[in-house]
A and B are shown apart, each in its own frame.
Chain A
C-alpha cells in the first residue's frame, strides 16, 4: 500500500507574487498535484486604451517591478513597430547594454538571494548573514553594481525614465560610461567568487529531467536578447522559427480555472521560457567566458532539468557582464552623440519580443491616427511557464515518491522547482 501525503503551500515564499501548491496523495494514488495562481489581476491591457503613445510604456512598465526595464523596452519597441520608427545604432547599443544590466541584476538577485538559501540549508538570505556574511555582502555588492549600471542608462532601474519611443530623453556621458567600466572591472573578483560558490553548490540541485519545448528570441549575430525572431527547440533538436508579428501562433494563450494568469502552449502541451530556454536555443552564441562558466557548472544543451534554470542564469550573469563590458568599450570609443527622438511615420499595429530575465516577453499595440492606443496585448514569460510548471510538478511527484522522499522533502523540492523558474507571478497576471 502506498503512502498518504497531503500538503498545501499557501503563498510560496522567495518568489515574486502569489502562488499556491496543493498535493494530495492517497495511499500511493495522486489525487491532486496542482500549481495555482491566485494573484490579483490588474488589467493593464485595458488600462492603456486611450493613452498617448508617449505614455503607454510608462504604464506597462508597472506590470513588473523586477523586469520593468524589459517591459519598458518591449513596450517602446512594439510602439515603434506600430509607428514605423527605426531607432539609431546608438540607441540600439544603449538599449542592448541596458537589457544586459537588467538580466544581470535580476539573475544575481534570484540566484544569490532567493535560491542560494535552499542550497545552503537556510530559510532566507537574512539567516545567512551571520553564517555566510561574505556571500551575502558580495551578492548585495553585485546587485548594487547592476542597479548603478542600469540607472546610468535608464535613469533608474525600477520603472526607467529615459527610455521613450524614438530613442532616449537623456544620454549617459562618456565620463559616466568610463566610470562604469572601471567599476565593473573592479567587480571581476566578486563575479568570479560568485561563480565559484555556485559551482560548489550546484550539485545539490535535484537530478530531475522532464523534456519540453524551449522558446527564446534568437538572432544570427548574438545570443538573443533585445532583437531577433522567435525560435523554439524540442529535446530531439527539432527547431521551429516564428516571426515576431505572428507571436500568437506560437503562444496560443488560454484561461485556466486554477489561475488568474493566462497559460500558453505551442507544439507540446506546454513550453518553457527563461534562461534555460535561451541557453538551450542559443548556447552557441554565448561569449567564451560564459561558455567556460557553463563547462565549470556542468550544464550542457539540451538540458532538460528545470532546476538547472538557476544555473543557466549564472551562465548568463557571466555573459551579460562581459558583453556589457564590450558594449561599453564600443560606446566609449565611438563617443555619445545627442540625437533627436525619431518621429512616427505612420500609426498602425506593431509587436515586439524581448528577452527579459524570466524569458521571452511579447507586447503588441494598435494606435489611431492621433497616436492614441486602441488595443494592447502583453504575453508574459511566467504566464508562458505556468503550464510547464504544472506538468513538471506532475512528473516530479512520482519521481520523488519512488525515491521514498518524506513529505517535507517533497514539499521543499516542489518549492525549489517553482523557485527555479524565478516566477514573476504578479507580472504574469498583470
Chain B
C-alpha cells in the first residue's frame, strides 16, 4: 500500500499545534513516518509539492481575503482537509477581536490605516472551504491527533465526543472548580481533551468549543450566581475561545 501524502499548512495562529506534533518524541514520530509520507510542512521542511495531497492539516484562522485564495488552492489539491486546532475549527482566541471595533487603532495607533495592516473578522477555515474532519483544542490534544490519523489510515472516521468536559472530570475524580471557589465552563464545553485544565487547578475555558445545543444562558447564570461574576464579565468569559459561537 502506498503511504498517504500528508501536508501541514498554517494561517493566523501561534503554530503551537504543529509543535504539539513534535512533542510526541522519537518513537511515535519515526513510527508515524513508516505510515505517512510528509510532502509539505513549511515550518519544518523546504520541500514542497505540486502533486495532489491525501491529507491536509490546516492550522490557524481565516482573517484576510488574501488567505481565501491560499485556502482554496490547498482545498483543490487535497483529498481530505482537517481543521487543526481551535483557531482553524472555530476561530479560537483570535475571534475575541470580532467583538471590538477599535482593535487596529489600539495596536497600531496612527499607522492603523496602512493597507498592509488591515485585518477582517477572524473566522474558522470552514468559512472559506469545505472541511472534512476537525482536531479541536488550544492546543490540540496530541493523543487525539494520533486517533484522527489512525482512523484515517484504517479507513474509518474519528468521532469527536459530544459530551461535556464535566464528564471527564468526574471520571478522573477531579474536584469541581466551583467547589474550590473558582469558576469553570466545563458544563457546556466539548470533551475529548481528558480534562487536563481543572486537574491542573485552572478552569475549563471551552477551547474545544461547546457541546451541541449548549445552554449558554445557563452558563452565564452559573458564572454570575456561583462564581460571583458581573453579567458583563460572565458574557466576556463565555467568549474566551468561543467568541465566534456567541452573539
Contact = CB atoms under 8 A, between A and B. Distances in A.
A in complex with B? yes
Interface of A: 11, 13-18, 38, 40-47, 49-52, 55, 58-59, 62-66, 68, 109, 113-114, 117, 123-127, 129, 136-137, 140-141, 143-144, 147, 155-159, 161-162, 164, 169-170, 255, 257-260, 372, 426-427
Nearest to A372: B233
B183 to A, nearest CB: 10
Nearest 6 CB-CB pairs, A to B?
Answer: A65-B16, A169-B201, A144-B25, A124-B45, A140-B26, A46-B103
A234 B205 CA distance: 46
A147 B202 contact: no
B15 A65 contact: yes
Interface of B: 10-20, 22-26, 29-30, 33, 38, 41-47, 60-61, 63-64, 67, 92-94, 96-97, 100, 102-104, 106-108, 111, 114, 116-117, 119, 122, 138-139, 196-197, 200-202, 205, 233, 236-237, 240
Nearest to B116: A260
Given A59-B96, A158-B16, A426-B14, A49 B106 contact: yes
A113 B26 CA distance: 12
Given A124-B44, A170-B201, A426 B15 contact: yes
B69 to A, nearest CB: 13
Contacts of A144: 23-26
Tell me which of A14, A52, A58, A59 has the highest count of chain B C-beta atoms within 10 A of its own C-beta: A58
A129 B33 contact: yes
A205 B233 CA distance: 53
Contacts of A124: 41, 44-47
Contacts, number: 184
A188 B63 CA distance: 45
A64 B106 contact: no
Contacts of A41: 12, 107, 117, 119
A340 to B, nearest CB: 12
A303 B220 CA distance: 57
A13 B200 CA distance: 36
Contact of A38 (B15, B41, B102, B116): B116
Nearest to A50: B236
B94 A126 contact: no
14 contacts: A14-B45, A16-B43, A62-B93, A64-B14, A65-B13, A68-B14, A117-B46, A126-B41, A126-B44, A141-B26, A144-B23, A158-B19, A260-B117, A426-B13
Given A46-B103, A426-B13, A126 B45 contact: yes
Contacts of A127: 45, 47
A40 B202 contact: no
Contacts of A257: 114, 116
Nearest to B104: A43
A372 B42 CA distance: 39
A42 B87 CA distance: 11
A65 B200 contact: no
B108 A255 contact: yes
B42 to A, nearest CB: 5
Contacts of A64: 14, 16
Contacts of A117: 46
A65 B17 contact: yes
Given A41-B119, A43-B107, 16 more contacts: A40-B61, A45-B106, A46-B103, A47-B96, A62-B92, A123-B45, A124-B46, A125-B44, A126-B38, A127-B45, A129-B33, A140-B22, A158-B23, A259-B116, A260-B117, A426-B13
B17 A13 contact: no
Contacts of A68: 14, 16
